[in-house]
Amino acid sequence: MGLPVHFSQQNAETIDFEDNSFDLVVSHILLHETSSAAIKNIIRECHRVLKPGGMMLHVETPPYEGMEPFDTFLFDWDSENNNEPFWRKSHLLDLEALAKDSGFQNHKPIQIMVPSAFQETKRTNTFQGGDFGGGGVWFVYGCQK
């Protein structure tokens, strides 16, 4: 498209971009890899750097609410046995309150399961922690500023 693209690797809790800099902030399987305190800081930073009307979207593994018990068991097993120390707590967060507490006051957060681009290769009906496990779906959490 002939447009410049710039990459910057930073701590997502304290990024050095100006307020109201972006139309879109996206992460992919980031939130379950960090602490509850860090997640709160990350969502606040997303709000800070978004322009009015901008959108934050985080593609993640889903919250436990409404999940089948066996899938919850698999998540918990993975958390304990696959070096995922923050996994369980990240799936128990009140995402609506998190958005509101981070400054997203005007819009209700998006919380939706979406099919993976690789859904046709689904190996099982069990969620298995995200598309990387072959489940064919992702959870998207986001909000408009």
Q: How many residues does the chain have?
A: 145
Q: Quick one: which of 28, 2, 3, 27 has its CA closest to 15?
A: 27
CA 48 to centroid of chain Cα atoms: 17
Q: Compute the distance between CA of residue 103 and CA of residue 56 in angstroms, rounded to an integer.
A: 12
Point out which residues pair with 137 in neighbouring strands: 115
**16 is written with which tokens?**
């050095």
Q: Helices (H), strands (E): how many in the chain? A: 4, 4
For residue 131, the model assigns a pLDDT of: 44
pLDDT digits (tens, 9 = 90+) for 51-99: 999 999 999 887 888 778 887 887 788 788 888 888 888 888 999 999 9
Share of the chain above pLDDT 70, in %: 86
Report the distance separating Cα 69 and Cα 74, nearest Å.
9
> Could you tell me whether strands 110-115 and 137-144 are parallel, antiparallel, or unpaired per DSSP bridges?
antiparallel
- In percent, the amount of the chain with pLDDT more than 90 equals 49
Residue 20, φ and ψ in degrees, nearest 5? 55, 45
Task: Residue 139: name the closest of 100, 70, 90 by CA.
Answer: 90
pLDDT at site 85: 86
- The pLDDT score that the predictor gives to residue 13 is 97
For range 8-18, the mean pLDDT: 94
In this predicted structure, what is the pLDDT of residue 79?
A: 80
Half-sphere CA count of 98, side-chain side, radius 13 A: 24
pTM: 0.83
Distance of CA 17 to the CA centre of its chain: 20
| pLDDT at position 120 over 90 | no
The answer to whether residue 118 scores a pLDDT higher than 70 is no
**Domain map (residue ranges) of the chain:** 22-144
pLDDT value of position 78: 77
Mean pLDDT of 6-23: 93
Confidence of residue 40 (pLDDT cuts 50, 70, 90): very high
